[in-house]
Structure 1
Amino acid sequence: MSRPRILLAIPNTLSTRNLLRTDVLPLLKAEAERVILVAPFADEPGFRAEFVTDNVVAYPMAPYRPRVRERFLHSAIYNLYLGGSTSGSLQLFLDRWGDNHPYLGPLRRFVTRRALSHLAFLSPWLERAFVETGAAGGYAAMLTRERPDVAVFSRLFFCDEIPLMRAAARAGIPTVGIVASWDNLTNKGALVPRMDRLIVWNETMRREAERYHRYRSDEVAVTGAPHHDQVFAPREPLAPREAFFRELGLDPAKRLITYAGEDPIIAPDAPRYVELIDRFIREGRLATPCQLLVRPHPQDDARRFDRVRQLPSVVFDLPGRPSARYWMDMTQRDLRHLYETLRHSDLIVNVTSTIVVDAAFFDTPSICIGFAYTTPRGFYNSPLRFYDMDHYRCVMEAGATTLVRSEEELLVAINRYLADPGLESEGRRRIARQIAQFDDGRCGWRTAGAILEAARPRVPRLEVGAARNTAGRGSAT
């Protein structure tokens, strides 16, 4: 039987990290006749040198510029979805919009929750119209030439992949959607176009796919996140504390607090938080001598932190490398550096970031900030709203972190963890098990196996071996 031809849509550098710089791409190359990459940076020399070798080819992905009709259809689909049995996160978004629009807000909430809930029968028709009548980006000729047996998508929600999704659906090519992160199925709205199969990290996400997106259990493969293999079975051991501190110019005699940044929309006051922690350090208000490592989010504009870079207690660490068109591009070395940071930090401070889960893999304590300086008053505009979202509520319910609502609470929490880093350790283990699910270093194998199974369902899938669902402290020594 012939070997399959596999198309991978790589719309951003997060997908590059998750699929191309893990075991997924090498395993697919070994099993497939041809791997077809479609990416916005397909013509960049660095991308081609790293990935376009042997039986791998690359085609450019154009930006998606939806027409008025497409925007209307997507808006109608989204609002009908919002009127159904959707996640608490999306209901929170609706309530926030209503709270910030005192005249139209009550009307929209009434229409969405009372009227649109009776029109759900229109959704399949609208979704079909969205797929069949929208632009397909000129991908038809490429699909005819390359003849992929499966098309794999890795961003999914109203993004640059949409025209290629349409083209694949119209050509009758089986589709697989890899859900990029643990929050996507509850935060992003309707998944349109619908994929034939989904690949998710854990059983919680499988249940979300069934409940909120109408997938059957047998249409969802639970594989773990391929990039988590770097935590539990790293290709290279993480640097020891002494080498890590030396690389960043840190003082080995002091404890390390790391402020991990978030998207500026989520944490507009990040520089103020950094100044506050620096003041705690300088004024001697912490229980032991400390230093502060500031690591902005890859999506953030580093210039936002210009005024705090020269503070006496602060060391600045910018993740990744610039990409021509998208977020900072994280290499395997950058990912390893992130995990070294989490392993060797004594404490992580953040605003509702995935970094809390990543830190839990290493049993590193974390604090979540729930107060703000510049946002409008009220719950729906404060950082506290993020901790009520479905995905983050499980972190709070696991007891994996501490939420602080004022400067004084932040100071108390920092000193509490400096005095006893083992506090909430069991909660961190719980959330690590729930989110990672697998700690055997074979998530990339399972992901590749699920893709190959979709490409050739009559051929035995790639053997991935037994998996242990016992994620705990990261193995990097």
Structure 2
Amino acid sequence: MKTVLITAGEDIIVRNILQTDFLPELKRMLPDAKFVIAVDPKKLETLEPKFKDEHVSLVGFVRGATPRYESLIMTLARSGIKSKTNLWSKMRSYERDHSTFFATYFKRAHTALLGDWDGYKRFLRQRILRLTSDPSAKKLFDAVKPDVLITLSLTNFDFDIPITREARKRAVPILGMARSWDNFSSHGLLRMIPDQLYIQNVFLKDMAAQYQALTERDVPMTIVGLPHYDAYAGACTKTISRERFCELYGLDPNKKIILYGAMGDFLFPEEPGMADVLEHVIEEGKIGTPAQALYRVHPKFQSALERIEGMKHVKAMKPDSYVTNDAASGLSNEELYLAALCHADVVVSGASTVAIDATVVGKRVICVAFDGTTPEHEVLYWHSVKRFYDSYTHFEALMDTGVILRADTPEMLAEEVNECFAHPTPDGAARKRALDTFVEPLGGAGKRLAEAVAKDITALN
């Protein structure tokens, strides 16, 4: 009987992978295997009822303190790729006083000199592998004694990477995947390379070659799609009725719905002001059709809620996590999010993955390039939402497909909302370009990932 250790250090991994067909299919394909899922200990109480059974157990994991030398090596790795997003990340840290001028200058010089050198990236990875084992990872491996590791988020540097490094030191085979479409261009150098890499789309494969010094000559790659999107197939024919959905959020089912999907004020500091913008453009009659807005706050950043209270035209949608259920409806937060996408007449956001989610279900999308109600001259460039359209590598690629509209002012936003109400179907060729690049293969990804993993584990015999 093989023991398979699986990492799930973030709620979004649970949502995107474990709450899909992947785990049930993997258990079916490997009936004699024992699965151990490593999670944040704070999540054990929530996750054990969902996954624990005779084949699956859960264990808490928190990495130990990071030694100073390891912190230095990881700092070099963070600035070890020469992407626009990596530059933005450095400048954001500087402008938020998280990094000094001299540290920022050093990191920028380091990236400029070495960020395009594949040999240097391989050298850094060798140094990372030789770092001292994390004591918590050692205890985990001593207790579980896994025959294989499945790491579901190779860019979770405080969770997956200490575990993956320990697996490599013990010669435990590593099957790994990136968490999201931005991972290879946004999170610095990939610290550890698995024996088999599962990726979601062709974009990640291109980014691996361009920024990570990784091609199929370095590691076998299998494009499987994103299991999370399996639920999107036919979702709008299965979701709750528009009347029921509107009842849950105090909306009028006879009015158009503008769904604002927040990316979170950590990334978009002035984003809460978008609620005021939506309230004003509707109140001032700039939307030609009776309309209302539903502002879906990010599960981790809910600072917009206070200002929405008492608004006439804007209501709030308040998911508290990716994996819990909503008490009022009995539905999961993910089911409600899908219902919101399905019943929206247009979707508005910053530079968020919400744009792809909405494109998958066939909605038109507008991304804002202005900072809410804050005057332009009061917002530093590296804090402004505008930077996402020329300094956010993966999102620039999405905008280049032509499927997303961009609004540079509140007035332009109102005009584009009116345009989308009049013509609610996205351009077919542009949508296909976006899906081909960032989503396909769409449908059946959970089973496809399970098949690939089961095949690779079986081959270890």
Give the TM-score, by structure 2 length: 0.87
Structure 1 CA distance for aligned equivalents of residues 454 and 116 of structure 2: 40
The 3-state SS of whatever aligns with 1:191 is coil
The answer to whether 1:213 aligns with 2:207 is no
Q: Residues 423 and 213 (structure 1 numbering): CA distance in 2 closer, same or farther, change over 3 Å? A: closer
The answer to whether 1:406 aligns with 2:404 is no
Counterpart position of 1:312: 312
Counterpart position of 2:446: 444
Sequence identity percentage: 22
Deviations 1:40-65 (A, max 9, x none): 13773332122111211111111453
The answer to whether 1:228 aligns with 2:204 is no
Counterpart position of 1:190: 189
Counterpart position of 2:126: 128
Counterpart position of 1:155: 153
Between 1:251-260 and 1:140-149, the stretch displaced more is 140-149
Question: How many pairs align?
Answer: 445
The gaps in structure 1 that reach 5 residues or longer are: 322-327, 460-477
* Deviation of the 1:179 alpha carbon: 1.0
Tell whether the 8 Å contact from 1:278 to 1:313 is kept in structure 2 after alignment: yes
Counterpart position of 2:367: 368
Between 1:120-129 and 1:287-296, the stretch displaced more is 120-129
* Deviation of the 1:87 alpha carbon: 3.0
Counterpart position of 1:252: 253
Counterpart position of 1:181: 180
RMSD: 2.9
* Deviation of the 1:130 alpha carbon: 2.3
Tell whether the 8 Å contact from 2:403 to 2:430 is kept in structure 1 after alignment: yes
Structure 1 CA distance for aligned equivalents of residues 316 and 13 of structure 2: 26
Q: Counterpart amino acid of 1:88?
A: K
The 3-state SS of whatever aligns with 1:246 is helix
Tell whether the 8 Å contact from 1:64 to 1:160 is kept in structure 2 after alignment: no
Give the TM-score, by structure 1 length: 0.85
> Aligned runs of 1:135-150 on 2, under 5 Å?
135-150=133-148
Tell whether the 8 Å contact from 1:149 to 1:456 is kept in structure 2 after alignment: no
The gaps in structure 2 that reach 5 residues or longer are: 326-330
Q: Residues 251 and 39 (structure 1 numbering): CA distance in 2 closer, same or farther, change over 3 Å? A: same
Deviations 1:386-434 (A, max 9, x none): 1222211122111111111122212222222222223545423431232
Structure 2 CA distance for aligned equivalents of residues 197 and 50 of structure 1: 28
* Deviation of the 1:92 alpha carbon: 4.5
The 3-state SS of whatever aligns with 1:138 is helix
* Deviation of the 1:99 alpha carbon: 9.1
Structure 2 CA distance for aligned equivalents of residues 118 and 277 of structure 1: 43
The 3-state SS of whatever aligns with 1:44 is helix
Counterpart position of 2:276: 275
> Aligned runs of 1:38-437 on 2, under 5 Å?
38-41=38-41, 44-63=44-63, 65-79=65-79, 81-82=80-81, 86-93=82-89, 104=102, 108=106, 111-112=109-110, 115-116=113-114, 121-157=119-155, 158-217=157-216, 219-232=220-233, 237-300=238-301, 302-321=302-321, 328-330=322-324, 333-372=332-371, 373=374, 377=379, 379-388=381-390, 389-422=392-425, 424-437=427-440
Tell whether the 8 Å contact from 2:114 to 2:120 is kept in structure 1 after alignment: no
Q: Counterpart amino acid of 2:8?
A: I
Q: Counterpart amino acid of 1:299?
A: K
